[in-house]
Structure 1
Amino acid sequence: MPFHLYILFSKKLDRFYVGATGNLQKRLEKHLNSSAGFTSKARDWTLIYSEEYERKEDAFKREKQIKLWKSRKMIEALIDKEV
């Protein structure tokens, strides 16, 4: 089973959300229907980027790497394939 690093975007919040999961579709549905946590602040999350990994550890390592950037510009460059 593949694992995914994913980036969501909310127009309402004008914010990105970075995560990793083993079931991308189910996780997106959970974000859209959640009543707790950061993603519960909006219901318009759209998947704008993902990477697939064979190992869970690799997907979560990549998630941590991107979160450590703390940079909207770098996330936007990644989405535009410039990183």
Structure 2
Amino acid sequence: MSIYTQNRIKAHNELATKGWTIKFRPWTVIYTETFDNKKDAIEREKQLKSAKGRIFVRSILKT
């Protein structure tokens, strides 16, 4: 797991004091993807938050 991923999980589980992420603690990493640049990562995140992306995420959660 990358240091970036570790820092994001720490932020979600320990550092956040308000917002959506604190309602569903603790967060656990079950899937990661690596990208060469931030633009591609943001594009993929937007895709995962779409209807088709949510179907993909739910399929991972079922396994």
Structure 2, unmatched stretches of 5+, are none
1:46 is paired with a residue whose SS is coil
Residue of structure 2 equivalent to 1:64: 46
**How far does residue 42 in structure 1 lie from its aligned partner after superposition?**
2.9
Closer, same or farther in 2 for the Cα pair 1:73/1:65, shift >3 Å?
A: closer
How many residue pairs were aligned?
A: 59
Aligned position for 1:23 = 4
What corresponds to 1:53 in structure 2?
35
Q: Structure 1 vs Structure 2: percent identity of aligned residues?
A: 39
The runs of 5 or more residues in structure 1 that have no matched partner are 5-21
1:32-60, Cα deviation, whole Å (9 max, x unpaired): 01111111113211011110001110000
The runs of at least 4 aligned residues of structure 1 exceeding 4 Å deviation read: none
Equivalent residue number for residue 35 of structure 1: 17
Q: Which amino acid aligns with 2:50?
A: L
Q: Which has the higher contact order (CA 8 A, sep 6+)?
A: 1
- Amino acid across the alignment from 1:47: V
Alpha-carbon RMSD across the aligned residues, in angstroms, is 2.4
Q: Pick the structure with more strand per residue.
A: 1
Which structure features the higher share of helix residues? 2
